[in-house]
């Protein structure tokens, strides 16, 4: 979406924090950015533990959201934006400037305290003029997660899928036999997956590209580590025909579906949304779902005949349908 704005002569400013802001700064080094700081989310080891963890942190979330909102008001006094687009951040809105929330989770999966969490989210969603859901009715990739509450239906628009690969020329290579390990999300689970895959006997014998790693852990000559890379570097690697081992976050799914990758989805423990999506895709699209806990027990040689995850590129976001020319 950022590429589309720049291509249509909009001036873009980033507001964010952490790894997501660093990713944007890596891919768009010339764009001005503001670091909001923010609350460090503690990830539990299972769904129930995560819900309890979020419940105990809820006052901190609300406080952090309010601080985030106050900082945004200060930034808008400087930058004078015409449009604010928030990527699932509930404090990034302005009462006098058109504000859009992008999210596929209108009804997130909470194992416990569903009513408490849902009512709080809906209260925050009402602050936005529009809610853009990156999905398509024909595909329904997010399934029940994007079911709209009745009183928000007028705000909700399904805009098609989003991928930061869609604006790049695809110079594809199809000559790598092995695996691509795509690391994402917060630590400690990010590093745990990294360590778990590297220590697995099956992978020690295979060629592997390791992408998104923040630490260099492998000494195996068959493993090549890339760290955090730009989209134009990532596309030919992920399009090489190699099986991608990754988390089942929604953004990753949309990116990999755009490229038609073969995937082994390993949801982040304690992330109900990722577990739900991985199970859903394994049933609907014959994708492979493996829990992190059971990874060491699986015979991964049975995963060699994985079907590619393919999403029609015509169903991805069309800028002109939602944004007026600058």
pLDDT of 80-105, one tens digit each?
999 999 999 999 999 999 999 999 99
- Co-location of 227 and 278 in the same domain: yes
pLDDT of 280-304, one tens digit each?
998 887 788 899 988 877 666 666 6
Instruction: Report the pLDDT value the prediction gives residue 99, as an integer from 0 to 100.
Output: 97
- Co-location of 13 and 147 in the same domain: yes
| 189 within a domain of the structure (yes/no) | yes
CB 223 within 8 A of CB 205: no
| 309 within a domain of the structure (yes/no) | no
Coil/strand/helix, residue 84: strand
Q: Which of 83-92, 169-178, 317-326 has the lowest mean pLDDT?
A: 169-178
Stated as kind and residue range, the H or E segment containing 168 is none
pLDDT of 13-57, one tens digit each?
999 988 788 888 988 999 999 999 865 555 555 555 555 666 676
CB 24 within 8 A of CB 5: no
Q: Which of 110-114, 186-190, 277-281 has the lowest mean pLDDT?
A: 110-114
CB 272 within 8 A of CB 108: yes
- Co-location of 36 and 151 in the same domain: yes
Listed residue (281, 311, 279) closest to 47, CA to CA = 279
| 172 within a domain of the structure (yes/no) | no
CB 262 within 8 A of CB 306: yes
| 45 within a domain of the structure (yes/no) | yes
Q: For residue 104, count other CB atoms closer than 10 A to its CB.
A: 24
End-to-end CA gap in the chain: 14
What does the alpha-carbon distance between residue 211 and residue 228 come to, in Å, rounded to a whole number?
6
Instruction: Report the pLDDT value the prediction gives residue 98, as an integer from 0 to 100.
Output: 96
Measured CA distances, 273 to 51, 142, 149 (Å): 12, 9, 18
- Co-location of 129 and 189 in the same domain: no
Instruction: Report the pLDDT value the prediction gives residue 268, as an integer from 0 to 100.
Output: 93
- Co-location of 105 and 55 in the same domain: yes
- Co-location of 125 and 218 in the same domain: no
- Co-location of 154 and 8 in the same domain: yes
- Co-location of 186 and 292 in the same domain: yes
CATH of the domain at 196: 3.40.50.2000
Instruction: Report the pLDDT value the prediction gives residue 300, as an integer from 0 to 100.
Output: 64
Instruction: Report the pLDDT value the prediction gives residue 45, as an integer from 0 to 100.
Output: 53
% pLDDT > 70, the chain? 88
CB 235 within 8 A of CB 260: no
Give the count of domains, the chain: 2
CB 308 within 8 A of CB 152: no
CA 244 remoteness from chain centre: 15
CB 161 within 8 A of CB 258: yes
Beta strand pairing call for 208-211 and 223-227: parallel
pLDDT band (50, 70, 90) for residue 155: very high
Proportion of the chain in helix, strand, coil states, percent, rounded to 5: 40, 15, 45
- Report, as an integer, the average pLDDT of 146-159: 92
CATH of the domain at 132: 3.40.50
Domain range enclosing 226: 179-303
- Report, as an integer, the average pLDDT of 62-72: 92
Q: Which residue has the higher pLDDT, 42 or 277?
A: 277
Q: What is the mean pLDDT of the chain?
A: 86
- Report, as an integer, the average pLDDT of 135-151: 91
Instruction: Report the pLDDT value the prediction gives residue 277, as an integer from 0 to 100.
Output: 94
| Residue 216 pLDDT exceeds 70 | yes
| 137 within a domain of the structure (yes/no) | yes
- Co-location of 15 and 128 in the same domain: yes
What does the alpha-carbon distance between residue 292 and residue 297 come to, in Å, rounded to a whole number?
10
Q: Is 80 left (phi over 0), alpha (psi -120 to 50) or beta?
A: left
- Co-location of 213 and 106 in the same domain: no
């Amino acid at each position: 979406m950022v590429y589309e704005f720049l291509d249509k002569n909009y001036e873009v400013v980033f507001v964010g924090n952490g790894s997501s802001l660093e990713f944007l700064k890596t891919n768009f080094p010339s764009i001005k950015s503001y670091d909001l700081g923010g609350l460090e989310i503690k990830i539990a080891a299972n769904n129930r533990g995560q819900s309890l963890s979020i419940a105990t942190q809820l006052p901190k979330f609300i406080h952090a959201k309010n601080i985030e909102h106050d900082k945004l008001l200060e930034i808008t006094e400087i930058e004078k934006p015409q449009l604010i687009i928030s990527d699932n951040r509930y404090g990034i809105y302005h009462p006098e400037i058109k504000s859009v929330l992008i999210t596929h989770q209108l009804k997130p999966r909470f194992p416990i305290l569903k009513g408490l969490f849902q009512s709080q989210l809906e209260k925050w969603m009402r602050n936005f003029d529009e809610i853009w859901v990156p999905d398509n009715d024909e595909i329904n990739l997010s399934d029940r997660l994007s079911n709209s509450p009745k009183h928000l239906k007028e705000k909700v628009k399904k805009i098609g899928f989003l991928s930061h690969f869609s604006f790049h020329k695809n110079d594809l290579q199809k000559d790598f036999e092995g695996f691509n390990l795509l690391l994402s999300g917060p630590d400690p689970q990010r590093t745990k997956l990294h360590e778990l895959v590297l220590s697995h006997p099956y992978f020690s014998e295979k060629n592997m590209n390791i992408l998104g790693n923040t630490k260099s852990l492998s000494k195996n000559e068959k493993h090549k580590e890339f760290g955090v890379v730009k989209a134009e570097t990532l596309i030919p690697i992920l399009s090489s025909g190699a099986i991608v081992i990754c988390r089942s976050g929604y953004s990753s799914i949309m990116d990999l579906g755009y490229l038609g990758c073969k995937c082994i989805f390993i949801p982040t423990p304690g992330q109900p949304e990722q577990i739900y999506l991985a199970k859903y895709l394994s049933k609907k699209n014959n994708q492979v779902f493996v829990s992190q806990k059971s990874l060491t027990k699986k015979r991964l040689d049975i995963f060699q005949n994985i079907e590619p995850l393919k999403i029609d590129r015509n169903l991805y976001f069309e800028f002109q349908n939602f944004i007026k020319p600058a």
